């Protein structure tokens, strides 16, 4: 052994100790500065992460998704349908959007064999995207909905519910982008059942992973450094503890999961099951496209749109305009531009996304000049899989609920659709990592699309026509008041 070895070991030990201390600083005890003494040290219990059931969970009702093309689709009258077992002697029950129907559906669904969800026209079957570990059931769904609307999340001295930011009456996004102190625009949760990566930078895979990731998250419900705050990280530590402290919730976890107490794993499963039912389709575009396919027409034509442009549809699309033929013509023009100007290169398929990530020059996308300070998808992909094109790249968003989810882009910097279209038309901030389809040349200079102002209006109108129907009331409104503070936002107003 060389005489210098003990010194090296000492240095190593010292480094380890220092790194250990820094970690302690990153995750300070709860309310280290001001909170009462008994709250200062929270040691996360391993059982908060996951447990095996100690009781057999109560028999739960499976939820199945019936998408367009399935033989039962046509015969299902509305989104949420309950099929009683034949022995019950009841006929198919249909509960559309009425509040009373909703309440009755809740009571009945508990006693029936299967809850069938009619996936709205235009959307594919989400079943293949559901992890085998978490088959959807009515019990998990109902618990997930309760957690979603319960004010049990905390950051500093503020408490939120998921719905504080993911507001049902704003496409489950935030009306003003991000008002609670994070830098990324709150994503709308409509149709999130389909995304292959979660978040703007895709740092989570399954919907089950978005709220809590590990026991570390529980260690501190009050985060001091800005990079640790759940508004930034979206790791809502403290949620399991808050639910554990609530007798009603403890009871619900016992009946649904057979657990002695809530766990991170069970919370994730319940929330994801609920989130998968936030669906919206049957847009004007979907109906026109369906009609085109029925007629086996090679292209969308104005009459395909015009058939569905009744008074309410017109009013929703373009308030104050009553001439349905001219609106239908504009929609066809917008649809052509969407294809001819290359939007479909990335916004393609029934969900208008390629599930990929691109640098389009907005916001953080141009901050990459110092190595180690890149942003976007590049930071999140594992070492060995880094690709230059992912520097400053963000997820291609779906375009299916745009009128409800303003402002736009990962930083929420664009307040309306016309400005987004103008940006793509001639103001893209060129950079060396700019996405290939938007480039004019290898240096990253952006293409100009040469759309005049009528073209731009038509494209905006087409984007608006992709907006689907309202999320079913059973999903969008909190069912029970449990855990909700007085005056808390209570879901959507009836359509």
Asked if 210 is part of the footprint of ligand HEC (rule: CB under 6 A), the reply reads yes
Asked if 177 is part of the footprint of ligand HEC (rule: CB under 6 A), the reply reads no
Of the pair 118, 347, the CB lying nearest ligand HEC is at 347
Asked if 390 is part of the footprint of ligand HEC (rule: CB under 6 A), the reply reads no
Asked if 394 is part of the footprint of ligand HEC (rule: CB under 6 A), the reply reads yes
Asked if 308 is part of the footprint of ligand HEC (rule: CB under 6 A), the reply reads no
CB 308 within 8 A of CB 287: yes
Count of residues that bind ligand HEC according to CB under 6 A: 55
Of the pair 182, 262, the CB lying nearest ligand HEC is at 182
Site for ligand HEC in 438-457 (CB under 6 A): 438
Binding mask 350-369 for ligand HEC (x = CB under 6 A): --------x-x-x--x----
Give the C-alpha separation, 153 to 240, whole Å. Answer: 9
Residue 257 burial by CB count (10 A; 0-12/13-18/19+): exposed, middle or buried? buried
Q: Cα-atom radius of gyration of the chain, to the nearest Å?
A: 25
Q: How far is the CB of 35 from ligand HEC (least distance, A)?
A: 21
Asked if 405 is part of the footprint of ligand HEC (rule: CB under 6 A), the reply reads yes
Q: Give how far Cα 473 sits from Cα of 137, 207, 281, 329, Å.
A: 18, 22, 14, 33
| Sequence-distant contacts of 37-41: CB under 8 A, at least 24 apart | none
Among residues 61, 44, 56, the alpha carbon closest in space to that of 263 is found at: 44
Asked if 106 is part of the footprint of ligand HEC (rule: CB under 6 A), the reply reads no
Q: How far is the CB of 328 from ligand HEC (least distance, A)?
A: 19
Residue 52 — φ and ψ, nearest 5°? -90, 150
Count of CB atoms within 10 A of residue 287's CB? 20
Q: Which stretch binds ligand HEC (CB under 6 A): 32-40, 110-118, 188-196, 480-488?
A: 188-196
- Find how far residue 456's CA is from the centre of its chain: 28
Q: Which stretch binds ligand HEC (CB under 6 A): 39-47, 79-87, 430-438, 479-487?
A: 430-438
Q: How far is the CB of 341 from ligand HEC (least distance, A)?
A: 5
Q: How far is the CB of 344 from ligand HEC (least distance, A)?
A: 8
Please pick, from the candidates 396, 431, 456, 465, the single residue that binds ligand HEC as defined by CB under 6 A. 396
Among residues 103, 146, 159, 107, the alpha carbon closest in space to that of 273 is found at: 146
CB 392 within 8 A of CB 359: yes
Among residues 237, 259, 281, the alpha carbon closest in space to that of 121 is found at: 281
Task: Give the pair of three-digit tokens for residue 53.
Answer: 């059931």
Asked if 184 is part of the footprint of ligand HEC (rule: CB under 6 A), the reply reads yes
Give the C-alpha separation, 330 to 325, whole Å. Answer: 9
Of the pair 112, 428, the CB lying nearest ligand HEC is at 428
Q: Which stretch binds ligand HEC (CB under 6 A): 32-40, 179-187, 213-221, 317-325?
A: 179-187
- Cis ω on the peptide bond leading into residue 162 (within 30° of 0)? no
Which spans of this chain sit near ligand HEC (rule: CB under 6 A)? 148, 153, 160, 162, 164-166, 178, 180, 182, 184, 186-187, 189, 192, 195, 198-200, 207, 210-211, 231, 234, 236, 271, 275, 341-343, 345-347, 358, 360, 362, 365, 394, 396-397, 399, 402, 405, 408-410, 417, 420-421, 424, 435, 437-438, 459, 463
């Amino acid at each position: 052994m060389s005489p210098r070895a003990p010194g090296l070991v000492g240095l190593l030990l010292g480094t380890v100790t220092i790194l250990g201390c820094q970690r302690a600083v990153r995750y300070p005890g709860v309310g280290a500065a001001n909170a009462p003494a008994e709250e200062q040290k929270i040691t996360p219990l391993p059982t908060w992460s996951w447990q095996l059931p100690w009781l057999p969970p109560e028999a739960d009702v499976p939820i199945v998704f019936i998408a367009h093309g399935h033989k039962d689709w046509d015969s299902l009258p509305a989104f949420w349908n309950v099929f009683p077992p034949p022995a019950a002697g009841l006929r198919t029950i249909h509960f559309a959007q009425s509040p009373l129907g909703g309440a009755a559906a809740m009571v009945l669904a508990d006693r029936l064999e299967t809850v069938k969800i009619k996936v709205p026209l235009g959307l594919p079957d989400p079943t293949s995207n559901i992890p085998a570990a978490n088959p959807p059931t009515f019990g998990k769904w109902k618990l997930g909905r309760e957690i979603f609307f319960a004010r049990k999340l905390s950051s500093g001295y503020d408490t939120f519910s998921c719905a504080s930011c993911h507001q049902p009456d704003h496409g489950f996004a935030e009306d003003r982008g991000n008002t609670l102190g994070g830098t990324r625009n709150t994503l709308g949760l409509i149709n999130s059942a389909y995304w292959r990566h979660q978040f703007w930078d895709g740092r989570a895979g399954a919907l089950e992973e978005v709220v809590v990731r590990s026991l570390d998250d529980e260690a501190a419900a009050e985060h001091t450094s800005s990079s640790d705050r759940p508004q930034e990280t979206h790791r809502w530590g403290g949620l399991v503890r808050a639910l554990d402290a609530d007798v009603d919730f403890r009871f619900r976890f016992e009946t649904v999961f057979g657990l002695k107490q809530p766990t991170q794993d069970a919370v994730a499963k319940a929330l994801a099951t609920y989130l998968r039912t936030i669906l919206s389709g049957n847009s004007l575009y979907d109906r026109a496209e369906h009609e085109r396919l029925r007629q086996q027409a090679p292209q969308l034509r104005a009459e395909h749109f015009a058939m569905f442009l009744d008074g309410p549809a017109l009013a929703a699309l373009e308030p104050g305009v009553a001439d349905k033929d001219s609106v239908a013509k504009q929609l066809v023009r917008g649809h052509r531009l969407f294809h001819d100007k290359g939007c479909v290169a990335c916004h393609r398929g029934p969900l208008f996304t390629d599930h990929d990530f691109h640098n389009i020059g907005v916001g953080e996308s141009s901050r990459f000049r110092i190595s180690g300070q890149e942003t976007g998808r590049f930071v999140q992909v594992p070492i060995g899989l880094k690709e230059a094109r992912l520097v400053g790249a963000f997820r291609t968003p779906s375009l299916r609920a745009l009128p409800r989810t303003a402002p736009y882009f990962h930083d929420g910097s664009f307040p309306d659709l016309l400005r987004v279209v103008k940006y793509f038309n001639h103001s893209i901030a060129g950079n060396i990592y700019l996405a290939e389809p938007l480039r004019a040349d290898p240096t990253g200079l952006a293409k100009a699309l040469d759309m005049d102002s009528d073209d731009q209006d038509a494209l905006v109108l087409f984007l608006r026509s992709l907006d689907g129907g309202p999320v079913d009331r059973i999903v969008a409104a909190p069912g029970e008041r449990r855990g909700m503070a007085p005056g808390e936002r209570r879901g959507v107003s009836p359509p």
